[in-house]
A and B are shown apart, each in its own frame.
Chain A
Amino acid sequence: MKRRHSIHNLSLLALVALLPLLGGAGLAQTLTMAMSAQPDTLDPQVTAATAAFQVSKSIYDTLIEVDRAGVLVPALASSWAVSPDGLTYTFELVEATFHDGTAFGAEDVVATLDRIRSAETASPKVNEFRAIVSVAAQGPRTVVVTLSEPQPALLASLASGWGAILPSEKLAEGHDFGNQPVGTGPFSFASWTRDNAITLDANPDYYGGAPSVDQVVIRFVTDSAVQLQGLLTGEFDIIDTVAAADRPAVETNPALTLVREPSGLVLVAGLNTRRDYLSDVRVRQALNLGVDTAIVMEVAYSSGSQVGTFMEAGSPWYPDSVEPFPYDPEAARALLAEAGVPQGWTLDMVLPQPYEEHILAGQIVQDFLRDLGINAQIRIVEWGVWLSDTYGGPRNFDITVVGHTGKLDPSGRLTGLGDPRTNYTGLDDPKLAGIIATANITPDHAARQALYTEALERIHEQAPFIFFGTPDRVYARQANVEGFWMTPLLDSFDFRDAALE
């Protein structure tokens, strides 16, 4: 009996210790989120990692941002005007203060855009700003950006994480933004213990009004089982990954809420169009017809919508004219026979570790291909190897599975397709490349949309991929967490309106 007692006392103690985490009334409110990936750096100009932008969104602001509906809305720029020729962008700026106390103004925008364009920075996003000829301040609150050719995607780039505005004074000092980020954002950087946590403090002087919570703690938890356990014990308020098998349990738990919304991903099996038989468009179409992508989406990605071209389902750019390929193994066999593909044709299927869902998808595709008399041999490689040997470099693969992340503007997704040097499928289609290049510099929205539609229809026909679909973005939170959301397409975390009820 005595022993029982001490156990009770212990758990009571633990509970008391946990109380601040739960955020009772009157205490400082801390919101804790578990995140599966970790930023490589918090300098938004030297990274391409989604994880970096997911976090940096709270520290920095951009001139423009996307709202919950995916529409571009004012942020640090209260308004903007584009000249009729599409070559001059004029931004009017709001009044805001950086976390180091300096005032935000036109000089900061100039210094920021100069830095990302400089060769020394070596930003992986530099191409998105390549049309910029000059960035100039006109007075303290106006910035004029001049382009060499129209680039309608510029606004989208400025609204993405890599468009973050940095303080000019710190830039001049060569400040280490990667480890000590300073922005105008709703939260200021407090600390980062790598592989453990990033702590952000609410910025009471935020130009858009102070956030409701006092502190946000982002914990790095790779394992989805541990994330869920932490959600169940109340250690985490939000977790960014819920394994398919755990979703029903979260849904039926009244203390938890499962959030399921469309993501910006396009999942595909990339086909190396420079390899035997795969260079034949009939063979590529046959593979699309011979794989039941509805099964792939359901089993490997546990949800989502199918697509028939290289654009996420639900995008305003997705052409109404393009349907997903139907599952028709008879038609697939006929096309393969027509193309002269022998029975027992062997394919090198390369799948990236540690993406379990892509590996599973590859195994399902392998089964469907076996039905067509094609022998896909799976080779699982580590991510770094995949990037340098499969996706880049010698492109050692016949077929591979990967997800392409969302972009605010279709140019981000499509640029490079059609040119064998810049896309891993090696698709050599100058006509397609030409349509995309023209669309990228067409200022008129309707004309631009028509061009992208033509391009996406052509991608459907050329089938350099087996098109799978767009999965749902699934995360979970405590039922008392209100107002948290993730940016459409970019998946950035927005804690500004987050509150613990």
Chain B
Amino acid sequence: MPRYLLTQSASFVVTLWAVLTLVFFAVRALPGDAATIMGGLDATEQQVEAMRERIGLARSLPAQYAAYFGGLLQADLGESLRERRPVTTVLLERLPVTLTLAGMAFVLSLLIGLGLGVLAGLRPGGAADRATLLFTTVALAIPEFWFGFLLILLFAVNLGWFPVLGLPPEGLTVGSSWNLILPAVTLAIPRAAQLARLARARVLEERSSDYVRTARSKGLLPNAVGRHIASNALPGVLPLLALELGGLLTGTIVVEQVFGLPGLGLTILGGISARDYPVVQGVTILAVTVYVLVNWLADLAQLVADPRLRAPT
């Protein structure tokens, strides 16, 4: 176990460094920088150069690279070029919104996806299976931004159950997390559909295996057989679940824009269009960390859930 942790941490550091280096140069390869954008149509070349000087963009690329990674070693993510405040502050302000949204969406997609998938798989061709097929086909075909608008129209404009804008002016509070239901549903539905498909396939696979036939032939009740099938089929879904969780982060970009939620998705979008390099890099660090962590947790969960994986060691 300690060895496992060590190799995992090492691969995390290497992954983070590689992705961050890529992002570091990629955002700088985009034409234009924060100074040109802040200067807009009116600033002259000299003024833009002076602004570049002020926000620290006048240094050479290697110098910027060294300064940034040197800062990282001291847990300093740098300062936002546009907001003129520490990236850490920016991220800490935004993280709760995205985490809450992603958390709610994850739970929803889990409940809907696994529920439907198992139901459909246990009785292939039945009503539940056909309903699930319809649901997954439609859910995967609908673009998130359109579905989000539909929900706003129905629940916010017509029924008035929710405000049109995701959060109140003061941002995320305990009371206002209820407002994240619509965005969370928007985010969860296509993911639930994917999960449902996989879960159904895994259940079908298990259904035709020998032990199920044996269980059936010895007269085990269908419910009990179902439980057996589910507990064998579901660990196989875990890797996808981890991917899904990581994918939730990218999904929030679209959903946060539709619902105007001040989370990390809007932060990275705004960061890219303002060429706010440290902010883009900061969000990248978070995203990579979450991705790696989630995959790692999925590995662990699979070990726990599936004794066969533990046997050889």
Contact = CB atoms under 8 A, between A and B. Distances in A.
Contacts of A416: 44
Contacts of A48: 38-43
B14 interface: no
A195 B260 contact: yes
Contacts of A321: none
Interface stretch (B16-24, B29-37, B185-193, B283-291): B29-37
A402 B40 CA distance: 12
Given A122-B53, A196-B260, A229-B164, A384 B37 contact: yes
Contacts of B200: none
A226 B152 contact: yes
A122 B47 contact: yes
Interface in B132-185: 149, 152-153, 156-157, 159-165, 167-171
Nearest to B37: A384
Interface in A219-233: 219-223, 225-226, 229-230, 232-233
Given A195-B267, A392-B36, A125 B157 contact: no
Contacts of B167: 196
B153 A11 contact: no
A119 B51 CA distance: 9
Nearest to A391: B41
A339 interface: no
B170 A191 contact: yes
Interface in B193-248: none
B274 interface: yes
Contacts of B152: 226, 229
B30 A193 contact: no
A405 interface: yes
Contacts of B104: none
- Which of B31, B162, B267 is packed against the most chain A CB atoms within 10 Å? B31
Report the interface size class on chain B: 35 or more
Interface string A248-259: 000000000000
- Which of B51, B93, B270 is packed against the most chain A CB atoms within 10 Å? B51
Nearest to B55: A122
B48 to A, nearest CB: 8
Interface stretch (B67-75, B80-88, B122-130, B301-309): B80-88
Contacts of A18: 160, 163
A232 B157 contact: yes
Contact of A179 (B31, B85, B149): B85
A235 B41 contact: no
A247 B36 CA distance: 34
Given A196-B169, A196-B171, A232-B157, A387 B40 contact: yes
B273 A382 contact: yes
A205 interface: no
- Which of A217, A387, A412 is packed against the most chain B CB atoms within 10 Å? A387
Contacts of A230: 163-165
A222 B265 CA distance: 14
A194 B262 contact: yes
A7 B158 CA distance: 13
Contacts of A47: 38
A7 B160 CA distance: 10
Contacts of B274: 40, 384
A221 B153 CA distance: 16
Contacts of B31: 384-385, 388-389, 393
Interface residues of A, number: 62
B101 to A, nearest CB: 14
A392 B36 CA distance: 9
A392 B45 contact: yes
B47 A384 contact: no
Contact of B160 (A15, A195, A422): A15
B40 A14 contact: no
Contacts of A83: none
Majority SS at the chain B contact face: loop
Contacts of B156: 229, 233
A221 B260 contact: yes
Given A196-B260, A219-B169, A388-B33, A404 B164 contact: no
Interface string A309-331: 00000000000000000000000
Contacts of B262: 193-196
B50 interface: yes
B119 interface: no
B38 A40 contact: yes
A412 to B, nearest CB: 8
A124 B39 contact: yes
Interface string A19-49: 0000000000000000000101101001111
A385 B33 CA distance: 9
Interface in A113-152: 119-127
A383 B82 CA distance: 16
A441 interface: no
A393 B84 CA distance: 26
Nearest to A231: B164
A363 interface: no
Contact of A388 (B32, B160, B161, B164): B32
B32 A222 contact: no
B120 interface: no
A129 B153 CA distance: 50
B84 A233 contact: no
Contacts of B168: 197
B52 to A, nearest CB: 8
A280 interface: no
Contacts of A384: 30-33, 36-37, 273-275
Contacts of A126: 47, 50
B54 interface: yes
Contacts of A120: 54
25 contacts: A7-B159, A11-B161, A18-B160, A41-B84, A43-B84, A46-B54, A48-B43, A121-B54, A124-B47, A124-B48, A126-B47, A191-B170, A193-B169, A197-B169, A219-B165, A222-B257, A222-B260, A226-B258, A233-B160, A233-B163, A385-B32, A389-B31, A404-B41, A412-B42, A422-B44
Interface of B: 30-33, 36-45, 47-48, 50-51, 53-54, 82-85, 90, 93-94, 149, 152-153, 156-157, 159-165, 167-171, 257-258, 260-262, 266-267, 270, 273-275
Given A49-B38, A384-B37, 20 more contacts: A11-B161, A43-B84, A47-B38, A124-B51, A193-B170, A193-B262, A194-B93, A194-B262, A196-B262, A197-B169, A219-B169, A226-B152, A226-B258, A226-B260, A229-B153, A232-B157, A235-B164, A384-B32, A387-B41, A402-B41
Interface of A: 7, 10-11, 14-15, 18, 38, 40-41, 43, 46-49, 119-127, 176, 178-179, 191, 193-197, 199, 217, 219-223, 225-226, 229-230, 232-233, 235, 382-385, 387-389, 391-393, 402, 404-405, 412, 416, 422
The 3 A-B residue pairs whose C-beta atoms are closest, nearest first, are: A388-B32, A197-B169, A384-B32
